[in-house]
Structure 1
C-alpha cells in the first residue's frame, strides 16, 4: 500500500517571508520582479526541520503553495535539505475561484481518502474541507510549537485506511477542539486503527495527471507575467 499523501502549504505554515529586512532571517532569497531583483527575507517556523523529517518518514509529502514558483522554489530548495517533497506545486497549479487560489486535490492522481492537506488558509482547501488538518498562521512567534504539537496526531493519522474517518470528525464545526487538543485528550486515538504504517510501493502512479501537466505548461508563460496579481509580498 502507498503512504498517505500529505499536501503541505509553505507561507505562514512552514515559513514567513517579507520584503522588509528581518534581522534574524534564516534565508535571504533574491527574486526578480519586473526586471528588478528584490531580496526576500525568510523566517523558519520553530521545529520546521524536525517536522519535515518526520513527515517524510510517515507520508508522501507534496509542497503546494499559492505563491509564484520563482519565489517558492528557491525557498523550498533551502528549506527541504532532505528531499522530503516528492513534488512541488505552485500558483499555476491552483484554481482561481471567487478571488482565491484554491488547491484542487483531485488533480494529484491520488485517491482522496488517502490525501491530507495541511494549510493555514481555509480558502486553500475549500474544495476538500474533509481532507484538511488546519494550522494557525505563523509570522514571527519563536515560542510557537504547533508543528511539533501536531506530530502525535499526524503519526496516528498516517496509519489509517481512510482519512475521512478521522478528519470529518475533527473538522466538524460543532467540534471546537483542534487536532492537537483532541490528540492530547485521547479522543482521536480511540477511533483510529493502530495497525502498521503503510509503505510506498516501488513505482507509485504519476502524482499529477498528464492533462494537468499539459495545462501547466500552457499557462506557465502567462503566469510568469501576472505579477500584478501577486501578493504585495510572498504570503
Structure 2
C-alpha cells in the first residue's frame, strides 16, 4: 500500500472512530487494581497495532458491525490471537486506545469474546493532550512505570514515557505481516 493510501486509510479510520460520542465507563478511569500491578503490564494500542478497521469491505474481513453512518469492517493483524494468547500468560494485558468506548468495545468483544486475554480497557478519554497532541500518559492509569510497557504504532502516544514505549509498524491489510511474531521474544524478555 502506498504511503498516500495508508495515510488516507488512517485518516478515514480516525473519522470512523470519532463518529461516535465519547462514552465513558467509570471502571476505566480508576487506577488498576493491585492484583494486576503484581504482574508486569503489557499495554497495547488497538487500531493499526492489533487490528485495522475500515469502512470498505475486503476479502480478509473477520468481523463487521454497524456504525452511525456506515458499517465497520474489522481486519485482524496476522497472528494476533497467537500473540494475545501467549502474552496473556506472561503479563496482565491492557488495551489503551485513542478510540471511543462504543467502537472499541465492539472490536475488543470480537477479539476476546471470552474476556480471557485482555484484563482491562482504556479509551480515548483516558489519554491527555501535550502541546496539542494526543498522548497516552501512563501515569494517568496509576500504573507502576517500572513494570509497564506500551506497544503502539504511533510514537507520539508514548512520548511522555519514552522508556516504556515500543513502536510497532502500522498495519492495514498486509496478510504477510509478522510484526507480532517478531515482538513476542521481546515481550518474553521484558517479562523476566
TM-score norm. by structure 1 comes to 0.63
Aligned-partner SS, 2:146: helix
Pairing of 1:80-229 with structure 2 (within 5 A): 80-83=112-115, 84-159=117-192
* 2:68 paired with 1:29: no
Q: Which residue of 71, 79, 101 corresponds with 1:47?
A: 79
Structure 1 residues 23, 99: CA separation in 2 closer, same or farther (over 3 Å shift)?
A: farther
Who is 2:102 aligned against?
70
Q: CA deviation at 1:151?
A: 0.8
Who is 2:48 aligned against?
12
Q: Which runs of 5+ in 1 are unaligned?
A: 160-235
Bigger proportion of residues as helix: 2
Query: Which whole-Å CA distance do the structure 2 matches of 1:20 and 1:81 have between them?
Result: 24
Relative to structure 2, which stretch is displaced further, 90-99 or 108-117?
90-99
Partners of 1:31 and 1:70 within 8 A in 2: no
Query: Which whole-Å CA distance do the structure 2 matches of 1:82 and 1:157 have between them?
Result: 26
Who is 2:90 aligned against?
58
Partners of 1:105 and 1:112 within 8 A in 2: yes
What do the CA deviations read for 1:182-216 (whole angstroms, capped 9, x no partner)? xxxxxxxxxxxxxxxxxxxxxxxxxxxxxxxxxxx
Q: Which runs of 5+ in 2 are unaligned?
A: 1-36
Partners of 1:53 and 1:82 within 8 A in 2: no
TM-score norm. by structure 2 comes to 0.77
Q: CA deviation at 1:23?
A: 3.0
- Provide the alpha-carbon RMSD of the alignment: 1.4
Q: CA deviation at 1:70?
A: 1.3
